[in-house]
Copies of this chain bind each other. A is one copy, B any other.
C-alpha cells in the first residue's frame, strides 16, 4: 500500500462566532477571531489517498484526477468565499479549522473511485497551525 498526497489552496474569509452566546462571551473565547467584519486566510489543503498502484500505469491514482476532484468539490466552493456565509456544508457549524477539515473529508470521500481510500485531510490555516483528520 502506498500513500499519495496532493496539495491545493484556497483563500477565504471566516469568523469564529457562536450565535448561541452573547457578543461578550464570543469576544472572551475567540478574541479577535470573532471580529464581526471577518478576517481571512490562505488555506493550504493536503489530501492523502491510499491503495495499491496499478501495474499498467504505476499510479495509485492519477494525481491530475485527484486534483480535479478536490477542485470541483472543495476549491470551487470555498475559494474566494466566506466560509460562514457561502459554504453549504459549513452551515450551522463553527468555522474552526477542525470542523473545516472534517467537513472537507465528508465532501471528498464519496467521489473517490473503488480501490482508492481517503486517508487524511490536512488543512493549514496559517503556516504555523494545521489540523489533520483521518475519518474517525
Contacts and interface: CB of A to CB of B under 8 A. Distances in A.
A57 B96 contact: yes
Interface residues of A, number: 65
A11 interface: yes
Nearest to A6: B129
A5 B133 CA distance: 12
30 contacts: A2-B102, A3-B132, A3-B134, A4-B129, A4-B130, A5-B132, A6-B128, A6-B129, A8-B128, A9-B126, A12-B40, A13-B38, A13-B39, A16-B57, A20-B56, A21-B56, A31-B64, A32-B80, A32-B81, A35-B81, A35-B82, A35-B86, A37-B82, A37-B86, A38-B40, A39-B40, A42-B126, A53-B96, A55-B94, A58-B98
